[in-house]
Structure 1
Amino acid sequence: MIQNSIRELVRYGLATGLVEPEDTIYTTNRLLELFGLEEPEDAETPITADKEEEPRLVEKLEGILKDMLDYAAEKGLLENDSVVYRDLFDTKIMSVLVARPSEIIRKFRECYAVSPEAATEYFYKFSQDTDYIRRYRVCKDQKWVTPTPYGDLDITINLSKPEKDPKAIAAAKNAKQSGYPKCQLCMENEGYAGRVNHPARQNHRIIPITINGGQWGFQYSPYVYYNEHCIVFNSKHIPMKIEHDTFVKLFDFVKLFPHYMLGSNADLPIVGGSILSHDHFQGGHYEFPMAKAAVDTDFTVKGYEDVRAGIVNWPMSVIRLAGPDSDRLISLADVILEKWRGYTDEAAFIYAETNGEPHNTITPIARKRGGNYELDLVLRNNITTEEHPFGVYHPHAKLHHIKKENIGLIEVMGLAVLPSRLDGEMADLEKAILDGADIRSDEVLGKHADWVEEFLPQYKEVNAGNIHEIIQKEIGKVFMEVLEDAGVYKRTEEGRKAFGRFVESLN
């Protein structure tokens, strides 16, 4: 079986272009070595594959790797036969098919000479072919769209990240703490073998780019929450900071790749992303719901009459700047950021700081639309109270049964990344509703009881044919409320007036 799996994996490499025909014997020998084998069973029969076979072999990859991992477990090549150790080993397997970074960079630049689109198309396919992006896991994510007064919201339940088993969790706890790489966004991840508490990245490649005169890395997210979900990160391990240079970097990238948008998480806890210790952005070839939302209130800032400015019809508090000159947008963004950092409006419960702790920051997103550049500035505040210990402008407690985590850049733009636990919980909840079970007394489902009692009476008929659609629709509504909670200015008459006071303060 292992001999056939090796042949099939080499054929996969040939079909996808990871392996050149001249490298067939070399690649086969590397795989034999990895599995402790001295020779192939059928050395006389050449290994070949053409482009037409690629779709079938891509579909077979998960099975090929499974067979290889089963063999490795049987022969004691795995420390433990669990998903964490299997992921470490199959990344090692795939690394045999992957060229050195310099070769990938050379190919990327050759494609870029044709067009930026050709370069990203090559690199995105490459990142999937190497199994750095595991197609067979990403396709398991649940995705749907929920209509709202703000437009359609994108909802996903993330199933791409494997759940760690208890043995791996225990091993990670007892493992020696290493400072290398310093985090999962560092350049040193490229080619790293990984360990029980850090993913393997032997099949990972990074494209170096220059933005704002500094060296940065360009890669894709292994979990691709949306089309061509990329990460752009500082070559140095330095913390995130929203400032003038942030806006410059965003637009420098958009000028390199005009078909991509790029945004930054905020730089404060609660309203920031999961990794604040390493300066980075996220972008991609995708139009988010917020980008589709229109401006419903225009305004002008004195001295910037050439820049179109307005408040976006969105549950969070968004100012959109637009115009042909990115430098003018950056200059006005500097004014807005500086004003917001120090802005207090007690009547609207907005405090720039309390006890010396700053609360106001911005989540910025840059894109190019036709001949104009756009910069969306999402106003954020991370103040907490006894009533809202996780944050006043954070999902409130009644929504935590669906979403408790921080609202970062991706959610701000209208794409919900919901925890994998909801996949099983919602399936069980659908059954419980149809069976008329006592949801409140259920140890796992009880947290959803108030929610179910609130929405269920709104539906005249609930049956096996519509229950799944109903649950998805209601989850989408919860996400809309999540965004409304995270908005510093509510979409009410009082909230609009308060937002107006901030806008007036810019003049």
Structure 2
Amino acid sequence: MIYDSIKKLAAYGLETGLIGKEDRIFAINRILEALGLDEYKEPAQEYSGVVLEEVLRELTDYACEKGLCGDSIVYRDLFDTKLMGLLTPRPSEINQLFRGLYNHQSPEAATDYFYKLSQDSDYIRRYRIKKDMRWVAPTEYGDLDITINLSKPEKDPKAIAAARNARQSGYPKCLLCYENEGYAGRVDSPARQNHRVISLKINGEDWGLQYSPYVYYNEHCILFNKKHTPMVIDKAAFSKLFDFVEQFPHYFIGSNADLPIVGGSILAHEHFQGGNYTFAMAKAPVEKELVFKGFEGVKAGIVKWPMSVIRISSLDRNELAELAGKILSCWRGYTDEEAFVFAQADGEPHNTITPIARMRNGSFELDLVLRNNITTEEHPLGVYHPHAELHHIKKENIGLIEVMGLAVLPARLKDEMDRLAKALVSGEDLRSDETLMKHADWAEAFSASYDITRENVNEIIQKEIGIVFSKVLEHAGVFKRNEKGREYFSRFIEYVNK
């Protein structure tokens, strides 16, 4: 049976193009080595349409039985990634093919190839991504995307303990470092033998392009500096964004903020996130046109969006970077006590920007989302952060992806919403259930507006979660969408023009 599994994996490699006919015996011998086998008997049966998840489970079951790896999700992932790394082409081969497609066909052809390879190599585990729950929720700001992430496996207690007791390693320095390409991994660091990076020049510097293993949207990519250098949002960052979209005009690219609370994730390593997807924020119209002195040729305006967004566009990327740099510089030092905006407190900076760049109708376009990370006793997690009454749905930081209109919600909500649906249909007292108690105020408020049945309850809950997410974004908005908020926003624009 193990020989059948080996033959199936080799057949999968041939079908997907990970290996060529001349590589087949070589690949089989590498798999035998990984399984501790020194001989192979070719099965008579031929295989096609191999389901990767199934064959990897067969091979990893064998490895567990033989003591080659521990029988838990962490150790199994380390082992099956090692197997897939044996089939994944070398970085030089992939880069050469990518560049050929880019130069002789199109940027889209190049990224299509690389995205497919990243899935075929199991770096992006298709069968796990399918588990994620996704839906679209209509709101006054357009259709927001909602996802409950179920694809990222939870670590088992034994692996957590092993990671705690293991010698701490400084290699790679972080999960974004270039040194992750081909790395075997550890219990506290994922295996990356099947991980590949496309080398790019961004403003003359060496950068790498990869895809996120937990794709939240189509072709969710990460652009990272090959040097382990901290995140900084500055004029140079805007120029880097424009350089990328000029090379890949079918992709958007954006950055998390460079301060904690307001979306900073891996602040220690400079990186951006992009992809081939149009978010609700990109579709949102400009509701108030603006003119910036000295930049009259730049089209500008305030976007109809729950957060505070200035959109600027121009055919001249350098002029756009200059204006964006000016707006950022002004915002970094801006204080308006009446609006409860403070540039700093006790030497800690509070103001920064989440930028998103794209090409639109041949022009460079940049959305500048004003962010502030101040905290108070009433809002210890952040004044411009989801407030406590929304934490039952979303408590985590509002980063780039959420800013653009895609909610990444915790896995716990799947079971909680299933239980809530049953309770609403049956008329159960929500406050008598420890898990549902935190949802009680919210559920009691919206359920009064519906005739809830077994047939419509899930649709109603999904719609109401979308409304909560729109409120989450409103909380994260510095200038609120009311008369006073518009006055405060206009005051900042006047400050920039002065």
So what's the TM-score if we normalise by structure 2?
0.98
User: What corresponds to 1:83 in structure 2?
Assistant: 73
Q: Is the 8 A contact 1:241 1:279 kept in 2?
A: yes
Opposite residue 504 of structure 1, the aligned amino acid is E
Equivalent of 2:171, from 177, 180, 184?
180
Are 1:399 and 2:359 an aligned pair? no
Q: 254-263 or 31-40: which moved more? A: 31-40
User: What corresponds to 1:11 in structure 2?
Assistant: 11
User: What corresponds to 2:229 in structure 1?
Assistant: 238
SS of the residue corresponding to residue 448 of structure 2 reads: helix
1:348-378 deviation per Cα after TM superposition (whole angstroms, max 9, x unaligned)? 1001111111100000010001111100000
Equivalent of 2:445, from 435, 441, 454?
454
Equivalent-residue separation in structure 1 for 2:76 and 2:264 (angstroms): 29
Q: 320-329 or 373-382: which moved more? A: 320-329
SS of the residue corresponding to residue 83 of structure 2 reads: helix
Are 1:38 and 2:38 an aligned pair? yes
Q: State the Cα distance separating 1:174 from its structure 2 match.
A: 1.7
Taking the TM superposition and a 5 Å limit, the aligned residue runs for 1:135-284 are: 135-284=126-275
SS of the residue corresponding to residue 205 of structure 1 reads: coil
Q: State the Cα distance separating 1:198 from its structure 2 match.
A: 0.5
SS of the residue corresponding to residue 112 of structure 1 reads: helix
Q: State the Cα distance separating 1:273 from its structure 2 match.
A: 2.7
Equivalent-residue separation in structure 1 for 2:444 and 2:367 (angstroms): 38
Opposite residue 14 of structure 1, the aligned amino acid is L
Equivalent of 2:83, from 88, 93, 99?
93
Equivalent-residue separation in structure 1 for 2:46 and 2:246 (angstroms): 41
Q: State the Cα distance separating 1:255 from its structure 2 match.
A: 0.8
SS of the residue corresponding to residue 505 of structure 1 reads: helix
Q: Is the 8 A contact 2:7 2:42 kept in 1?
A: no
Are 1:365 and 2:356 an aligned pair? yes
User: What corresponds to 1:495 in structure 2?
Assistant: 485
1:275-329 deviation per Cα after TM superposition (whole angstroms, max 9, x unaligned)? 1111000000011110000000001011111001100000000000012111111
1:12-37 deviation per Cα after TM superposition (whole angstroms, max 9, x unaligned)? 00000001001111111111111122
Equivalent-residue separation in structure 1 for 2:355 and 2:488 (angstroms): 21
Equivalent-residue separation in structure 2 for 1:48 and 1:300 (angstroms): 68
Q: 381-390 or 111-120: which moved more? A: 111-120
Are 1:27 and 2:18 an aligned pair? no
1:173-209 deviation per Cα after TM superposition (whole angstroms, max 9, x unaligned)? 2222111111000001000000111000000001111
Q: State the Cα distance separating 1:430 from its structure 2 match.
A: 1.1
Runs of 4+ in 1 over 6 A off after TM superposition: none
SS of the residue corresponding to residue 210 of structure 1 reads: strand
Q: 297-306 or 426-435: which moved more? A: 426-435
Q: State the Cα distance separating 1:147 from its structure 2 match.
A: 0.7
Calculate percent identity across the aligned residue pairs: 67
SS of the residue corresponding to residue 302 of structure 1 reads: coil
Q: 122-131 or 434-443: which moved more? A: 434-443
Q: Is the 8 A contact 1:234 1:279 kept in 2?
A: yes
User: What corresponds to 2:466 in structure 1?
Assistant: 476
Q: 423-432 or 308-317: which moved more? A: 423-432
Are 1:107 and 2:97 an aligned pair? yes
Opposite residue 72 of structure 1, the aligned amino acid is A
Q: Is the 8 A contact 2:313 2:364 kept in 1?
A: yes
Equivalent-residue separation in structure 2 for 1:25 and 1:242 (angstroms): 50
User: What corresponds to 1:333 in structure 2?
Assistant: 324
SS of the residue corresponding to residue 364 of structure 2 reads: strand
1:410-453 deviation per Cα after TM superposition (whole angstroms, max 9, x unaligned)? 00000001111111111111112222222223222221111111
Q: Is the 8 A contact 2:256 2:265 kept in 1?
A: no
Q: 489-498 or 168-177: which moved more? A: 168-177
Opposite residue 116 of structure 1, the aligned amino acid is P
User: What corresponds to 2:284 in structure 1?
Assistant: 293
Equivalent of 2:114, from 110, 123, 146?
123
Q: 32-41 or 301-310: which moved more? A: 32-41
Q: State the Cα distance separating 1:466 from its structure 2 match.
A: 0.6
Equivalent-residue separation in structure 1 for 2:36 and 2:374 (angstroms): 58
Opposite residue 502 of structure 1, the aligned amino acid is F
Equivalent-residue separation in structure 1 for 2:41 and 2:23 (angstroms): 19
Equivalent of 1:350, from 341, 352, 358?
341
Q: Is the 8 A contact 1:14 1:48 kept in 2?
A: no
Q: State the Cα distance separating 1:213 from its structure 2 match.
A: 1.5
Opposite residue 272 of structure 1, the aligned amino acid is G
1:35-61 deviation per Cα after TM superposition (whole angstroms, max 9, x unaligned)? 122222227x5x977xxx5xx33xx11
1:457-490 deviation per Cα after TM superposition (whole angstroms, max 9, x unaligned)? 011x111101111111111111000000000011
Opposite residue 12 of structure 1, the aligned amino acid is Y
Equivalent-residue separation in structure 2 for 1:182 and 1:228 (angstroms): 25
Are 1:430 and 2:421 an aligned pair? yes
1:228-253 deviation per Cα after TM superposition (whole angstroms, max 9, x unaligned)? 00000011111101001100100010
Structure 2: tracts of 5 or more residues without a match: none
Are 1:74 and 2:65 an aligned pair? yes
Q: Is the 8 A contact 1:393 1:485 kept in 2?
A: yes
Equivalent-residue separation in structure 1 for 2:92 and 2:46 (angstroms): 26
Opposite residue 152 of structure 2, the aligned amino acid is K
Equivalent-residue separation in structure 2 for 1:67 and 1:345 (angstroms): 63
Equivalent-residue separation in structure 2 for 1:392 and 1:136 (angstroms): 39
Q: State the Cα distance separating 1:152 from its structure 2 match.
A: 0.7
Q: Is the 8 A contact 2:203 2:239 kept in 1?
A: yes
Q: State the Cα distance separating 1:110 from its structure 2 match.
A: 1.0
So what's the TM-score if we normalise by structure 1?
0.96
Size of the alignment, in residue pairs? 496
